[in-house]
Amino acid sequence: MKLNTVIATLSLAAIFLAFTPVSKLEKISLDTKASKIEWFAEKVTGKHNGIVPLKSGTLETKDGKLTGGSFIVNMPALEVTDLDGGMKEKLEGHLKSADFFGVDKFPEAKLVIKKVEYTDSKSGFNTKIMGDLTIKDKTNPISFPAMVKMEGRSVAAYGELTIDRSKYDVRYGSSSFFDNLGDKAIYDEFTLKVSLGAKS
């Protein structure tokens, strides 16, 4: 190969590399006002639901896709929304006590997203999110379906998590820890519906 041909080839390669976009990991702050967590729990004799606010968080994106992130939940601000007055206050106080989430000692819960798989599901859930969930200083792996939409540097996501509270030492009324509870039993699994908004 002639010297001029080699120089020309190297020059073209340099130009190509100069104009090739570099894949970049970006962190986008969570908009706590545009985000929400709803909780739903059931017992033998009924059910309750409420909300718990997000304290802070970030979502990580790369090449226009969600790749990771983490967020912190403000446990002392947990609310019951299906009751009013004294019944509402009583249940909120019980859920915040050591019988359940012990918010004085464990004021934060945390989810760390470790992996995101994009799927072709026709249900609207276009991703499977895998990560670690920490409640009461107990950490367990978790995975759940989610819908993720990105526009520029804005991210909107919705996911539904089914959580087994017995794995996080939330024992009150649990048949996993106590026998003969009868109609006083509270089911171990509860659901979180999480809506996230993030932008930079």
Nearest to 60 by CA among 135, 151, 153, 195: 153
* Residue 121 within a domain: yes
- In terms of Cβ atoms closer than 10 Å to its own Cβ (0-12, 13-18, 19+), residue 49 is middle
pLDDT at residue 22 tops 90:
no
Work out the end-to-end distance of the chain between its first and last CA atoms, rounded to an integer number of angstroms.
Answer: 51
148 is a domain residue:
yes
pLDDT band at 120 (very low <50, low <70, confident <90, very high): confident
R_g of the chain, CA atoms, integer Å: 23
The answer to the question of residue 7 being in a domain is no
Domain membership of residue 58 (yes or no) is: yes
pTM: 0.85
Q: Tokens 């026998």 appear where?
A: 179
Averaged pLDDT score across all residues of the chain: 88
Is residue 1 one of the residues assigned to a domain? Answer: no
Asked if residue 90 is part of any domain, the answer here is yes
Reported as a pLDDT band with limits 50, 70 and 90, residue 59 is: very high
Identify which has the larger pLDDT, 25 or 127: 127
Looking up residue 45, the CATH number of its domain turns out to be: 2.40.128.110
Give residue 31's domain range: 24-199
Per-residue pLDDT reduced to its tens digit, 133-188: 999 999 999 999 999 998 887 899 999 999 999 999 999 999 999 999 999 999 99
pLDDT above 90: percentage of residues in the chain? 75
Domain count for the chain? 1
Q: Taking 80 as the threshold, does the pLDDT of residue 17 lie above it?
A: no
pLDDT at 166: 97
46 pLDDT band (50/70/90 cuts)? very high
Cα–Cα dist 62/155, whole Å: 12
The percentage of residues in the chain with a pLDDT greater than 70, rounded to a whole number, is 88
- Identify whether 123 is part of a domain: yes
